[in-house]
Every structure is written in structure tokens, then in C-alpha cells.
Chain A
């Protein structure tokens, strides 16, 4: 087992937005070890989301490379990237991103089904149990509270037991109390399942659950703080 789950090597990301070049990441290097809960902090547009997308093999660097569990994402085709994602990555979003037409259980089992899995329903139920939403399987998303929706989203993100969970402002749409619950849940995932979490956030209070805080500014790492969150 490698000691590095995800490695950014001098990663730059440039793209055009409305004809203007944007340098989202500038020669950024970062290693994340397995089982770490890493918070990415910084202002809007500092490159947090780009970094997350690259970690999740949704995006590729303009230069440098990203190694996810030892695999260089630049060397993989679309199918390879998808496979990598299916096996190793889960996503959690600020606005939950549940499919409104699907029940809670169907939402959760979706990654398994998309990956061609068979015993999806049972594992979905397990995952829901893990986020303490037993009995909510048949509900539709609009029948849930925000916190419940985010828990469903987290269940969906971990149902296929990924090594890496990427969370983009997971408590941004929630009140403080609910947000705390979600943060605790995420911490539990790191602690109990050994999952690595990369979480973009700009709320200072959320860092209490993290092992490492990476501060970004203008596409560069400004500072890395390590703390003991256990």
C-alpha cells in the first residue's frame, strides 16, 4: 500500500473563460496520505473546486500530473477515468445533487448500478444505515430536510466504498447545527472506514474535524497546517 493516495505534481490548470485566460492552479504540488481528512480553504476562485475535480479525475491538468492511487490521470482515457472514479472516488456537493425522480435508496445505489453492480439494493441499505437514515429508502428527495438530503448524498458517495471522498462545501447550504452533524459524520467516515476526504470549505469552524488544512490563494498553496483532529 502506498503512503500517498493522491499526489499533485507541479499541477497547473489554465482555461479560457469568456475569452480571458484563467490560471486556476499554478504549479501546485500536494501529497495526501490515505486516511487523511484534508480541508481546502481559500476564497472563491482560489482553485479549490478545480483541485477537487482533478482529484476526482473529472478534470485533467494543463501541465504537471495528478496521481490517484498511483495512477496518472493523464494516461487514462475516458473509460479509464470513469473506472477510476467508480472504484475510488465519491463526491459530495454543496447542494446535495440528488436526483429528484429517484427514491432515496435509488439515489444511493446509483453509483453501483452505473458501475454495473448487482447487489446494489442491499449495499444501499447498509450505506443508509451508516448515515442513520434507515427506513427512508422509499422517500423522494423533496420529502427530506436539507441535512437528510446531504446524508443521503454522503451515503451515495460512500456506497461503493471509495478510497477518496471529495466534498465541495458540503455544509454550505445547511444551518450550523446540521452542518456540525454532517462534519461529524464525515469525520466518522475517515476514522471508521479509513476513507480519505478532501473537503473544500470556507467556514473556519469546519476545520476542527480535519487533519490537515491546505490554504490556497490564486491557484497556489499558501500554507499547510496539520493538526490532530482525533
Chain B
């Protein structure tokens, strides 16, 4: 058996190392992408905890409250006659505003009770555990020493602080005493979290219930990790979609394995026949070819594991950016590669390889011992089966349609995924007929357009129809993914642009400077908006304040705006209901409006109500929103202040008086904001920034597409190489018949070009169908956004051209090999 394997499989592999390597590498890339997305997703979703927590270990319970916990709760808990261990936290971010390589970096700023915790944490100044005024403690990762000074921007305030001491911690983190932290982040009297360790006398759940009863309204006691769980849940759909997207690269890899094994089988048909005649069993033949696939799987898995680890680093950066702008501040955890990831890599690599090889290996096993028939039979069969395959394609397409109409399961669009997969299957089934049909129809045309080489290329592709179809299928799948995501993103982008036109009506927008994130709402000095409102250039100011909250186990954003001011310009577009009357009611009623993603996530609509920690509020409207995926609950500012009386706003929108020069007004606003570190955007530049964030969000999908395309193009290169080797006699003959080496090169490039063209056509059509599923099913069910369909013509044209050029380039090496063939040797007859 081993000798059989060596003779039938290993030796041929060795004789064509380039092609074997290409195939293995294609598998490796597929595995790597899946692994990278998995690892990176885990890392990006894994660390919502501050790294100070790693010093104290995991608490049992966490106490939080919308708008912060009244600090008295800490005293109340501390004096309870229960042996609780308590840690209080104020959590925010500071921007390093000094010089040096870290300038502009956003680092966690953690307020702790230094007096109570210092001894345990080892956070101590040189002199002792009592905080100096305006001193902060820094982690070793910041490379500072006690007595240095550090420039930080916190909220909108720049300042310089003394480094009171350094504590052992690798990352970059700043710790301040709670009193200083409250002042700096402008949350007087409030704590963000109280971590609680409970004694073992009762279960954690019992303690949770008991403590909850003693908390004032609005304060929540939850099991430790609940917040992380919530964030993970929120990210789940996002990660699922990425994961599915990453599988596409794997599907492309599967096509290529299928192709490679098919080529092996076709080439060694007579050899298989001889071996069978010599007594090899069907099972042995089957096992040998599956073994070949498994070799690719193992090599691909091993390389993919390493590659995936490397790619995960990059992916984490991209993912982190997306997560930040759409969901929640996260500091990516270290990427951890362990036995599970290794197992995953090999399992994926081997199973995808063996599965894809199953059909050709079975065909090999079916070769009768007498077989010594020439190449061409299976291709002939492929042509015969076209009709049946076409029918199957139609059936699959219908099934895809049915699947796409299914509701989401547990918030995940499995119907959409199934529809996408079925559509790809339908495409794969329809492609042979398409390739054959196009080739037949275009043969004479090609002769006229591209000369004899094009005609020969077309014939050759058509002759090895099965092989060609698989290649076209692989590349078409990658292209389809690119096209569909391209259309989806393009549509989304256009939708957002239109939405911004409606939504962003003010002239000038302000927020505290620094990196934006979906769950971070740094505030202004409450006096700033009044100063701005008093400017002669200014007509009105909308003070917007947002709080990150948890709603039914999912993170969300609660915010208040000045309805009457917002009404100046128009503003939100509602899914239903009359906006004028909604906006009229909002300031006075005990009611809210909610964003579309929030409505979808919690299955709420106009007329329902939301239950907040401080009461129930009627939903009087659902508005379109594309700002982030967390979802908004918005009330009038006055209503919000009634329950959360902190007047500091987190965003300001400024309307300028008619006739006032906008630049002049912006200057005036900037002058009024002097002393605060504030980002001031004219309407236009805010939109530019918003679109920049939008584009950054999709960076990861572009990266995934690129990998799928690379895998496919590599497959094309490998397959063309195989075609060259299989047809070397024919290519040599052409030289006898008067072909120049240039003509031979052109012939191969024509084949590459034809493959690219066919794949582009098939991929475009398939991609168009997939984009409908993406836009109207997967996206809608996963994220709850209504997206208008738009054609991103320029992007698509560019991308398709790029892929086309890439396939041509993929033909260069095989073409070079073809021209190097010695015609005498390859035509030599014995």
C-alpha cells in the first residue's frame, strides 16, 4: 500500500514541485485565513477588561449603573456586615499627548482607590501608598519612571501629570486615584464599576440577588464577565459573518484541491489501469488519491497554522478598528495559538482536502483494470452531463431563494448563509455549460479577434472542460465574493452618504479630541456649550449626551438631545410615523425614539416600550441610523437630565446664524473652546471623517477578498502549469507546424485571459445574486440595517480589471515554461 502510494502519488508530486507547492499553498492560505479570523476575532472580542483586572484576578460580581454608580454605594457595601472584598473602578481613556513614539495613542485610564488597593496591587509611589495630588501611576510599558511628567488629554482637557510611581504591567495603562480620576474624567460622585468578591458561605448567584436587593434603583449587580459576555454576544453576528466570509477562501481552496486531484487521476489513468491489473484493489486506489489530498491537507494545515498566526496579527489590527468604531472599545488580547488552533488548522486542511478529493478519487477507483484509454473521456463525460448539471443548478438556485426567505435563527442569518452556499453550488453546476457554450460560440470570433492562438486556447480549455470549469468555478467564487461584498459595501456607503445628508444638518460639530469609539463618550466642560451658544455667530446649540448601557443583555447607547434644536434642520428619518409629530411629542412625553438596529435587535417597534433602570418609556418612533451597531435609545435632553443629572454633553452640534460666514463661525467656536482639547468639524469635514471611519470598518473584508483572489489566482497559475505539462506534445507540435515561441507564449496567456474572462463573467453574475442575499438578508438579519441597493460601478470595474490582470499575470510563468519546452523531446516518438 505504501509502495503503491509512493509510486502513484509521491513520485508524480515530486516531479512537479512547483504545482504541488502551489496547491499546498492554496490550501494553506485558506486554512490561514479561517484560522486568522478565528484567532483575531477571539483576541478582539476577548479583552473588554482592563489590564488592571489581571492584577487583581477575577471578581465574582460586578456592580454597574447607567451614568455611573453613586459613590455612596461603595461606603454602603464597605460597611455591610459581610466579608466582601471590594474594588472600585473608574474607567476611561487618556490620549498620550506628549512627544515620543506613543503620541496620540489612546490608553486606558483607570481610577482606583489607591489607599485601599495600593498595598495589594503593588501600585505605590516611591514614598508610600498615599496619592500625591495630580500624580498618576503608569505601567512599565510606558517606559517612564517615578518623578517624570506625562502629558495627557483626558476628556477634552489637556494636562500634564506627575508620574508618582510605576507598576508591573506590560501594556500601556495609567492609574490614578479615584478622586483625581473623577475630576479628570468629569464624573464627580460616580464610580463606573465595583468589583466584588464574595465569601463562600453562599453561591455567587445568591449573593448577586442579595446584594441587588440592597442597591438603589438603577444600580445593577451582575456576575463577573456579564459585560464581556454581552459584548461577545453583540459581536457574535459580526464575527459570524467574518467567519463565513473567511470560509469562502477555503471554498476556493477546495476547488483547487479538486482540480489537482482530478488532474492526477486523469493523467494517471493508464497507470491506474495497470496497477489494477496487477492486483491493486479499488479501495487501495481510492485511499491513494485521498492520501494525496491528505498530504496537501497536512502540509497546508501546517503552513496555514503558521501563516494564520502571522495573518492574525494583521487581522487583529483591522478587526480592532472595526470593533472600535462599530461596537465597543476593545484592547486586543494577545493572540493565543494553542493545541485547539493547531487541531483546527489540521482538521480544516485535511477535511477540506479529502472532501474535495472524494469525487476524483472515486473516479480513479472506478478505472477498470483494462483501462489504458487516452485522456478525453472524462471531459467527454463532463460535456454529456451538462444538461443534468444545469438542471441541478436551477434546483439549487431555487433552494437558495427559498433559504434566503427564512427568518434568522438566534439572531444569525443561517438562511442567508445557506442561500449563499447554495448559490455558489448552483454556480459551480452551471459553469461547465457556460464555459462550453461560450467557447463554442466564440471560437471563430476569437480567431478573428485574437488570432489562431486565441482560438487554440479556447479549444484547449473547452477540451479539458472539467478542469477548466473547476478553475473558472474557483476564481468565479472568489470574484463573486468580491463583487457581492463590493456591491454590499458600496450600497451601504451610498446609503450612509444619503443618511448623512439627512442627519447632519448642523453647521459645526464638536466632540472631545481623540479617537472615537462606539461606546466611549468623553464629555465637555458643561460651561463650554453656553459659551458657544452666546457667540453672536451662533443661532443654536444641540447638547447631546450619550451613555453606554446594557439593554436585555446587550450593550446599547442611551442618549439625550435637544429635540427643538435638532428640529431646526430636519434630522432623523423615521421608518414609520410622521416625523413632525414625533419630534413635537418627544420633549414633553415620557417617551423615546430608537434606532433601527436597536429595534431589530430587541424586536421593538413604535408603540412598544423600553424599560430603563429608571423606568419605562414609550417608543414613539424608529429612525434610520447607521452610526453604529449598538443601537440608540434617544430621549429629549430634559427628560434625560431628570434621571441622569450630569449636564456635561458628549457632542455638540452648532447651527450658525443665516448669513454668517462658516469659516468665521468655526473660528469663533474654536476660540470659545480654547483651553479644552476639542475636535471641531465643519459639517463637510465631519462627513469626510465619518466616511473614513466607514471605510476603515470594511478593511478586513477587503483583506479577506484579497486572500480569496490570491488563492484563486494561484490556482490558475498551478492549473495552467498542469495544462502546459499535459499538453507539451501539442505545444511542441505547434512549433513543428511553424509556431514561434511568441505564439506559444501568447497561446498560454490567451488561456489565462480566457479563464479570467469566463471567471469574471460567471463571478460577476454570481456575485450580483450573492449581493442581493448580503444586502437584503444577511446584513439585515445580522445587523438590522436597511441598505439601499447601489452599483459601485467604479469600484467593481477597477476590481474586476485588477483580477483580470492578475489572472493574466498568473499565466506568465506557465507560458514561460511552455516556451522553454524542447519540441523535439516532447514530440519524440518511441
Q: Do A and B form a real pair?
A: yes
Q: Which of B118-126, B231-239, B429-437, B735-743 contacts A (4 or more CB under 8 A)?
A: B735-743
* Given contacts A94-B829, A101-B463, A114 and B733 within 8 Å (CB-CB): no
Is residue B491 contacting chain A, with contact meaning CB distance below 8 A?
A: no
* Given contacts A58-B824, A95-B829, A169-B829, A110 and B735 within 8 Å (CB-CB): no
Pairs A–B under 8 Å by Cβ, sample size 30: A49-B828, A56-B736, A58-B736, A59-B824, A79-B740, A82-B735, A82-B739, A82-B740, A85-B736, A86-B738, A91-B737, A93-B827, A93-B829, A95-B829, A97-B729, A97-B827, A99-B456, A99-B730, A99-B733, A101-B463, A102-B456, A110-B452, A110-B737, A113-B452, A114-B452, A114-B734, A114-B738, A115-B738, A142-B376, A156-B737
- Report the minimal beta-carbon distance from B609 to chain A, rounded to whole angstroms: 72
Tell me the complex Cα distance, A114–B452, Å: 6
Is residue A69 contacting chain B, with contact meaning CB distance below 8 A?
A: no
Bitwise interface map of A from 169 to 182 toward B, beta carbon under 8 Å scored 1, else 0: 10000000000000
Residues of A within 8 A of B735 (CB): 58, 82
> Contacts A102-B459, A110-B737 given; 17 further ones with Cβ under 8 A?
A49-B828, A53-B824, A56-B736, A58-B824, A59-B824, A82-B735, A82-B738, A93-B829, A94-B829, A101-B459, A101-B463, A102-B456, A114-B737, A114-B738, A115-B738, A168-B829, A169-B829
Residues of A within 8 A of B827 (CB): 93, 97
Smallest Cβ-Cβ distance to A53: which chain B residue: B824
Tell me the complex Cα distance, A110–B447, Å: 11
Interface size on B, residues (CB 8 A): 27
Is residue A100 contacting chain B, with contact meaning CB distance below 8 A?
A: yes
Tell me the complex Cα distance, A100–B743, Å: 19
- Report the minimal beta-carbon distance from A79 to chain B, rounded to whole angstroms: 6
Tell me the complex Cα distance, A101–B464, Å: 9
Tell me the complex Cα distance, A3–B341, Å: 79
Tell me the complex Cα distance, A94–B828, Å: 10
Interface size on A, residues (CB 8 A): 31
Tell me the complex Cα distance, A95–B827, Å: 10
Smallest Cβ-Cβ distance to B828: which chain A residue: A49
Bitwise interface map of A from 120 to 162 toward B, beta carbon under 8 Å scored 1, else 0: 0000000000000000000000100000000000001000100
Smallest Cβ-Cβ distance to B736: which chain A residue: A91
Is residue A225 contacting chain B, with contact meaning CB distance below 8 A?
A: no
Residues of A within 8 A of B823 (CB): 58
- Report the minimal beta-carbon distance from A192 to chain B, rounded to whole angstroms: 23
Tell me the complex Cα distance, A127–B625, Å: 74
Is residue B460 contacting chain A, with contact meaning CB distance below 8 A?
A: yes
Is residue B462 contacting chain A, with contact meaning CB distance below 8 A?
A: yes
Smallest Cβ-Cβ distance to A110: which chain B residue: B737
Smallest Cβ-Cβ distance to A84: which chain B residue: B738
Q: Are B824 and A100 in contact (CB under 8 A)?
A: no
Smallest Cβ-Cβ distance to A173: which chain B residue: B829
Is residue A35 contacting chain B, with contact meaning CB distance below 8 A?
A: no
- Report the minimal beta-carbon distance from B450 to chain A, rounded to whole angstroms: 12
Within 416-474 of B, Cβ neighbours of A (below 8 Å) are at: 447, 451-452, 455-456, 459-460, 462-463
- Report the minimal beta-carbon distance from B378 to chain A, rounded to whole angstroms: 14
Smallest Cβ-Cβ distance to B737: which chain A residue: A111
Residue from A59, A95, A100 in contact with B376 in the complex, judged by beta carbons closer than 8 Å: A100
Is residue A228 contacting chain B, with contact meaning CB distance below 8 A?
A: no
Q: Are B738 and A85 in contact (CB under 8 A)?
A: yes
Tell me the complex Cα distance, A151–B666, Å: 89
Within 803-826 of B, Cβ neighbours of A (below 8 Å) are at: 823-824
Tell me the complex Cα distance, A116–B739, Å: 10
Q: Are A101 and B824 in contact (CB under 8 A)?
A: no
Is residue A78 contacting chain B, with contact meaning CB distance below 8 A?
A: yes
Residues of B within 8 A of A97 (CB): 729, 733, 736, 827
- Report the minimal beta-carbon distance from A33 to chain B, rounded to whole angstroms: 24
Residues of B within 8 A of A110 (CB): 452, 734, 737
Within 14-31 of A, Cβ neighbours of B (below 8 Å) are at: none
Tell me the complex Cα distance, A116–B463, Å: 24
- Report the minimal beta-carbon distance from A178 to chain B, rounded to whole angstroms: 18
Tell me the complex Cα distance, A95–B459, Å: 21
Residues of B within 8 A of A160 (CB): 738
Residues of B within 8 A of A113 (CB): 447, 451-452, 455
Tell me the complex Cα distance, A106–B462, Å: 15
Residues of A within 8 A of B730 (CB): 99
Smallest Cβ-Cβ distance to B730: which chain A residue: A99
Bitwise interface map of A from 66 to 103 toward B, beta carbon under 8 Å scored 1, else 0: 00000000000011001001100001011101011110
- Report the minimal beta-carbon distance from A229 to chain B, rounded to whole angstroms: 26
Tell me the complex Cα distance, A102–B729, Å: 15
Tell me the complex Cα distance, A116–B829, Å: 29
Residue from A59, A99, A106, A111 in contact with B738 in the complex, judged by beta carbons closer than 8 Å: A111
Within 374-392 of B, Cβ neighbours of A (below 8 Å) are at: 376
Tell me the complex Cα distance, A50–B800, Å: 49
Tell me the complex Cα distance, A206–B737, Å: 25
Smallest Cβ-Cβ distance to B823: which chain A residue: A58
Tell me the complex Cα distance, A161–B357, Å: 50
Within 452-503 of B, Cβ neighbours of A (below 8 Å) are at: 452, 455-456, 459-460, 462-463
Q: Are A78 and B740 in contact (CB under 8 A)?
A: yes
- Report the minimal beta-carbon distance from B376 to chain A, rounded to whole angstroms: 6
Tell me the complex Cα distance, A91–B734, Å: 11
Tell me the complex Cα distance, A22–B829, Å: 18
Residues of A within 8 A of B739 (CB): 82, 114
Residues of B within 8 A of A85 (CB): 736, 738
- Report the minimal beta-carbon distance from B326 to chain A, rounded to whole angstroms: 53
Tell me the complex Cα distance, A209–B2, Å: 55
The 4 A-B residue pairs with the shortest CB-CB distance, nearest first, are A113-B452, A86-B738, A101-B463, A101-B459
- Report the minimal beta-carbon distance from A65 to chain B, rounded to whole angstroms: 19
Residues of B within 8 A of A94 (CB): 829
Within 707-760 of B, Cβ neighbours of A (below 8 Å) are at: 729-730, 733-741, 743
Tell me the complex Cα distance, A20–B447, Å: 45
Smallest Cβ-Cβ distance to A160: which chain B residue: B738
Tell me the complex Cα distance, A113–B454, Å: 11
Residues of A within 8 A of B451 (CB): 113, 116
- Report the minimal beta-carbon distance from B395 to chain A, rounded to whole angstroms: 31
* Given contacts A53-B824, A58-B824, A99-B730, A78 and B741 within 8 Å (CB-CB): yes
